[in-house]
């Protein structure tokens, strides 16, 4: 088991242990609950709470995907929320014996303990020791800067192997595209026979950066084959989108009404901004969002959107920060233009330009674009072609690893951005 999986397993165990302590705290504050005429009836709610904790922890572990995990406060809130919701559902559906004070105290204590052990672990997060055998200097540098990667050394595949041993547990990340010298090939083979952890450089890079190394793509089949394998889920995403947008309609429609009034009072011009974007397969569609810029901001043609754009209105700045300017795009989701999660749709002129100048750029159109996406929660705006390439590496990572768990992670981080105003834009 890799360090990342061990970290996630330990976190899940600590969360369940925190619930056990929280239950004892609840009993200490409500001692009568469990000392009634039929104390055996107390155990079902205990079982429901622990079952909810297991489900919440499982969802959290699966939704990390390949990415390197970290002690996340948002994850603690989501796990406790899932556990509490499932327990409440069990109480309502089975009419089991329960105590409201005990349930509230135990739930709050559980959340507090889950946050506390994450706060302690964030003081010294885990790091995986890695020796990279690759001549891709930029990719090696990306790996060096990854928060959970401790790059012990970067070796040139054509050089002589090092004479000193590396610490136990060090992962040897071998670039399978590189041509190894005879001595380096013997060195790698010997380490493998000796039981040293050997992994492909590309997979290590993806896990620690959340990006796809575009220079390692050959003809794009590395993207299309994994996407075809996930075809059933990609097809199911449409149904999931419709259900989620429909059941949350009372909330987002009310928010849209309030935002419309504020925009109208703040500046002249229409409330809704419409623009042609490239959808699935490059097919054009009209995207809707709340106007955040002055009227006729695109008078001089298509321009990159940047964080501190001078064309932003006062209200538009706040809408961008909390990303609620995207709410009208939920109508695009219902129409089938967008999915809730996917690569963000780009303006047509930029798509035509980047399709000619950036390799594999058009592959991002193999899947329906999204209101939010992996690139949005990790990178944000790109205001030049170099940053567009970097952003594309996140989009292609999503394309390769699309799954319900990855989508759940992206939606959770997007909701956190909306609620807090922090995170990639």
DSSP 230-256: THHHHHHHHHHHHHHHHHTHHHHHHHH
62-71, 119-128, 277-286, 360-369: least confident range: 62-71
pLDDT grade, residue 338 (50/70/90)?
very high
Q: Is residue 144 domain-shared with residue 110, that is, in the same domain?
A: no
Please state the rounded mean pLDDT for residues 223-247: 91
Domain membership of residue 376 as a residue range:
229-420
Residue 213, both tokens: 């190394």
Which residue, of 209, 240, 261, is where some domain finishes?
Answer: 209
Most confident range, picked from 3-17, 27-41, 214-228, 380-394: 380-394
Contacts of 329 (CB under 8 A, 6+ apart): 287, 288, 289, 338, 371
More confident residue, 137 or 67: 137
Q: Is residue 190 domain-shared with residue 84, that is, in the same domain?
A: no
Q: What is the three-class DSSP state of 220?
A: coil
Q: Is residue 184 domain-shared with residue 310, that is, in the same domain?
A: no
Model pLDDT, residue 1: 46
Distance CA 425, CA 318 (A): 12
Cα–Cα distances (Å) from 139 to 35, 151, 209, 381, in that order, read 62, 12, 10, 21
Q: Is residue 279 domain-shared with residue 315, that is, in the same domain?
A: yes
* pLDDT of 419 above 50: yes
Q: What is the three-class DSSP state of 312?
A: strand
pLDDT grade, residue 64 (50/70/90)?
low
Model pLDDT, residue 196: 86
Assess if residue 133 is contained within a domain. Answer: yes
Model pLDDT, residue 101: 86
Please state the rounded mean pLDDT for residues 109-134: 88
Please state the rounded mean pLDDT for residues 252-276: 93
Model pLDDT, residue 34: 54
Q: Is residue 297 domain-shared with residue 371, that is, in the same domain?
A: yes
Q: Is residue 109 domain-shared with residue 137, that is, in the same domain?
A: no
Q: Is residue 36 domain-shared with residue 132, that is, in the same domain?
A: no
| 360 φψ region: left (φ > 0), alpha (ψ -120 to 50), beta (else) | left
Assess if residue 14 is contained within a domain. Answer: yes
Q: Is residue 41 domain-shared with residue 103, that is, in the same domain?
A: yes
* pLDDT of 299 above 70: no
Q: How many domains does the chain have?
A: 3
Please state the rounded mean pLDDT for residues 201-210: 92
- Predicted TM-score of the model (pTM): 0.81
Q: Is residue 252 domain-shared with residue 364, that is, in the same domain?
A: yes
pLDDT grade, residue 399 (50/70/90)?
very high
* pLDDT of 26 above 70: yes
Q: 53 near 16, Cβ under 8 Å?
A: yes
Q: 304 near 382, Cβ under 8 Å?
A: yes
Assess if residue 214 is contained within a domain. Answer: no
pLDDT grade, residue 187 (50/70/90)?
very high
More confident residue, 399 or 308: 399
Q: Is residue 383 domain-shared with residue 345, that is, in the same domain?
A: yes
More confident residue, 326 or 321: 326
Which residue, of 121, 155, 183, is where some domain finishes?
Answer: 121
Cα–Cα distances (Å) from 52 to 62, 85, 90, 416, in that order, read 15, 8, 10, 22
Please state the rounded mean pLDDT for residues 258-284: 93
Model pLDDT, residue 37: 42
pLDDT grade, residue 227 (50/70/90)?
confident
13-17, 53-57, 139-143, 157-161: least confident range: 53-57
Model pLDDT, residue 5: 72
Of 386, 261, 373, nearest in space to 323 by CA: 373
Q: Is residue 117 domain-shared with residue 132, that is, in the same domain?
A: no
Q: Is residue 117 domain-shared with residue 177, that is, in the same domain?
A: no
Assess if residue 52 is contained within a domain. Answer: yes
* pLDDT of 308 above 70: no
Assess if residue 224 is contained within a domain. Answer: no
Cα–Cα distances (Å) from 419 to 21, 85, 319, 323, in that order, read 30, 20, 12, 10
* pLDDT of 422 above 70: no
Distance CA 79, CA 405 (A): 14
* pLDDT of 311 above 50: yes
More confident residue, 267 or 282: 282
């Amino acid at each position: 088991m890799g360090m990342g999986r061990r970290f996630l397993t330990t976190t899940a165990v600590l969360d369940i242990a925190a619930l056990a302590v929280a239950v004892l705290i609840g009993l200490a504050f409500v001692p009568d609950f469990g000392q009634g005429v039929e104390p055996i009836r107390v155990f079902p709610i205990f079982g429901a709470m622990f079952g909810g904790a297991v489900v919440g922890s499982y969802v959290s572990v699966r939704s990390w995907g390949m990415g390197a995990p970290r002690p996340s406060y948002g994850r603690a809130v989501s796990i406790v929320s899932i556990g509490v919701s499932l327990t409440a559902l069990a109480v309502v559906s089975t009419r089991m014996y329960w105590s409201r004070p005990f349930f509230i105290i135990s739930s709050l204590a559980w959340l507090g303990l889950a946050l506390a052990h994450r706060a302690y672990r964030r003081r010294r997060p885990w790091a995986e020791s890695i020796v990279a055998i690759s001549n891709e200097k930029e990719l090696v540098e990306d790996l060096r800067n990854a928060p959970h990667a401790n790059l012990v050394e970067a070796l040139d595949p054509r050089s002589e192997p090092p004479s000193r041993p590396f610490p136990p547990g060090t992962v040897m990340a071998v670039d399978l595209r590189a041509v190894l010298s005879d001595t380096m090939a013997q060195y790698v083979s010997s380490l493998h026979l000796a039981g040293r952890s050997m992994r492909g450089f590309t997979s290590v890079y993806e896990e620690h950066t959340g990006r796809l190394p575009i220079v390692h793509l050959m003809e794009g089949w590395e993207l299309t084959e994994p996407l075809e394998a996930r075809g059933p889920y990609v097809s199911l995403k449409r149904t999931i989108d419709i259900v989620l947008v429909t059941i949350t309609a009372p909330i987002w429609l009310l928010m849209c009404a309030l935002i419309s009034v504020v925009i109208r009072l703040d500046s002249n011009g229409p409330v809704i901004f419409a623009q042609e974007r490239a959808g699935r397969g490059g097919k054009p569609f009209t995207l809707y969002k709340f106007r955040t810029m002055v009227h006729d901001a695109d008078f001089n043609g298509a321009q990159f959107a940047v964080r501190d754009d001078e064309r932003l209105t006062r209200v538009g700045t706040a809408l961008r920060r909390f990303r609620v300017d995207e709410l009208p795009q939920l109508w695009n989701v219902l129409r089938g233009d967008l999915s809730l999660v996917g690569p963000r749709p780009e303006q047509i002129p930029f798509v035509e330009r980047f399709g000619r100048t950036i390799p594999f750029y058009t592959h991002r159109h193999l899947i329906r674009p999204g209101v939010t996406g992996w690139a949005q929660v990790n990178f944000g705006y790109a205001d030049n072609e170099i940053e567009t390439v970097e952003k594309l590496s996140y989009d292609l990572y999503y394309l390769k690893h699309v799954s319900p768990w990855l989508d759940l992670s992206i939606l959770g981080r997007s909701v956190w951005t909306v609620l807090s105003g922090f995170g990639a834009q």
